[in-house]
Structure 1
Amino acid sequence: MSTRPFRSIASVLIQRTIVLAVLCMVVVFLVQSWLLRSEHQTQFEAVMSDVANTSVPLLAAALWDIETQAVQAQLQFIAKKPAIGFARLQAAGGQVFEAGNSELAQQEAIRSITIYAPHGTQALGVLHLSGNPQYLWQGLQAEALRILLGYSALTASICALIAFMLKQLLQKPLSTVAGFASELTPHQLTTPLRLNRAPQPHSDEIDLLEQGVVKLQTALHEHIHNLDDLVDERTAQLEKLLEEIRHLSVTDGLTGCYNRRALQDKLPEEIERAQRYHRPLAVVFMDIDHFKQFNDQHGHQLGDEVLRSAAKHVASTLRQGVDWIARYGGEEFVLVLPETPLEAAIAIAHRLCDALPQHAVPNPRGGSVYISASFGVTAYRPGEDALALLSRADTLVYQAKSAGRQQVVAGA
């Protein structure tokens, strides 16, 4: 997140408006000063023309009549004009008359007028006129003050109006959007943005911003919803795959029975249940007779079919959801019979021993073959483990095979 200090757009716009107004005021002042100087120059020329047309004839008459008081009075009249700061008249006879600001006496005259005798060409003297610098400066000050006051009032009014409009049209809705965005959390994505603006006959950038935020919220909500659906779908697929993997991990690929690993996991659970609730548990060890001969004489394809057929037939005779069968290895199978006493397990084994030889197994090469099996039946003894129980059942089936096969040998 940015660490830059916050400054509202409205304050930036107002500051820039003030700077622009000041620059405009300076430009206007410079232009007005140039115009005022030109105006003063025009006025000074008009004053010089008036002096030449009115005062010079009077000075000529006074000099001709040698009326010094009238000459001095006329000079003072001329020097009182705002545009003239100092007047000096140097008579042809050597007399000098002065009027006005004596500090400007050393200033070079900006206008010299020769005074001629009335009705003649004889020069009676020269009138030197110096301009009044304060006149122009005072005019510039007055103009600057007028511009400053006028523009300051105008700038203040404009800034106040801009500030009001920005606050109503820009700052409030933008602050609402900024606050909404800063407080937005994943759990509030569906919370609508409300600017509560007055109805307008047209839309503007704020409306577009509001529409964009709403559109973004809608898109995010739909995306998250789609992600949830996708996650649910992927989770279901994963659970299905895991179930298939788990099923494959405990199932024999050839016969569809439980495999030896499943037997090692499930049989201890059955033993624990039988021991905890003092319920009977029987185990039948089944070994298909002469299985090696099937492979040697008819090939492994028939051998595999014999195993599948035998397992399917045995599984069909068991209680669904209670009894179960596992392939122990090769042609050996283990039937686990919960809630079954030894006598009932022996009966089941005899029934299977009699039924298997009557079950025809199709030979892929033609015809059918018949199989038989030897059975070892035993019951769980309190306190023993799964290995001891299986070992005793294995010993019993070995006895059945040694006694001639296709028979049942039981032992408690």
Structure 2
Amino acid sequence: MLKESQIRDINLAPKGEQKLSWVQKFMPILNQIKDKFSAEQPFAGKKVVICLHLEAKTGYLAQVIKAGGAEVTVVASNPLSTQDDVVAALVQNGIRAYAWHGATDAEYHQHLKLALETEPNLIIDDGGDLVSLLHGEYQHLIPAVTGSCEETTTGLIRLRSMEKTGVLKIPVVAVNDAYMKYLFDNRYGTGQSVWDAITNTTNLVVAGKNVVVVGYGWCGKGVALRAKGLGARVIVTEIDPIKANEAILDGFEVLPMQKAAALGDFFITVTGNKAVIRKEHFSVMADGAILANAGHFDVEISKPDLKELAVSVRTVKPNVEEFVLQDGRKLFLLAEGRLVNLASGNGHPVEIMDLSFGIQALSLAYLEKNREQLRPGVIPVPTEIDQGVARLRLEALGRQIDELTPEQKQYLNDWAM
């Protein structure tokens, strides 16, 4: 027998309803998809589990999937990004939930288990925790799972490792790799939301400071671009020579982490890897350096090393921990080293997530529609979905673009011309 929702307080629902109403107004793509799903009922009789950061934008995605006929369960992909009022509003509107803000590691994993025990047919995941658990303790549920959609770079790294070793037993749509996802969500969404969170949390000026961006993927590009716009001097650290060259041509300094560590005022990690800032780097940082992570898991800034070096640790204001080192220097870690833009902020702008969640919703419908043809493995977002979301966005903006003439189409397709 399924357990009822496990949430903080159902009485918070009215405040959550206000948040959901606000984001809906600025998500025209999802609004159009909701109308389509309501009419076509692509998920009729299906169980869907959504494992994402549980805030208002995600909440509206869950409502859109429910409008398509699904029985929806939501569970948190990060315990510090859960907004209890939004979760309460979802439960009040017929969506099951297992999540609350500040869940312990044990509670977080128990919530994931409870979500899987609903026996889902379709999954939306963020970071790969749910799909990984499915392939571990809950393998017996795999035959009923049509497939999953993965939101993040970190999740796809894990899933491609599973695929390479022959472990992955379901098809997974690489939503993160869609052009309309990484060109906009990863770059502009991460760029704005990271700095919104850092400046709101610290109330410090960015202009004139040295910002070290660790990793120059699409998220790193966005963080560096916004830091430059705020007046910072930007230093990039990289392991990829091509990305390092790109950063140089974009106008940024490129240094190894050991040299950058001595120069930075703000450090933002966006690599998807572990311990990219560690003991030897903390040892040369300036007094007052700010440490923030914008990668999915809280492993990029080595908290064990930081605690080992510290003679005292205390919370000096919400989402700011002070680590006093033996020589008296103080380093400040934001949001426990978790995803700063969600654990210490409101996440990506609404319009940006409208693009990403439009792809999620349509990719989930694609999985269900093509369930007989798809095979296990990581698969790309179909071009028609990527292009379709782009066109929906242009329509929402009231913008038009050109189309090829028949002569132009022929010219592009005839090698002999």
Fold agreement, TM-score > 0.5: no
The structure with the larger Rg is: 1
Specify the TM-score bucket, using the shorter chain as the normaliser.
Answer: under 0.3
- Greater RCO structure (CA 8 Å; 6+ sep): 2
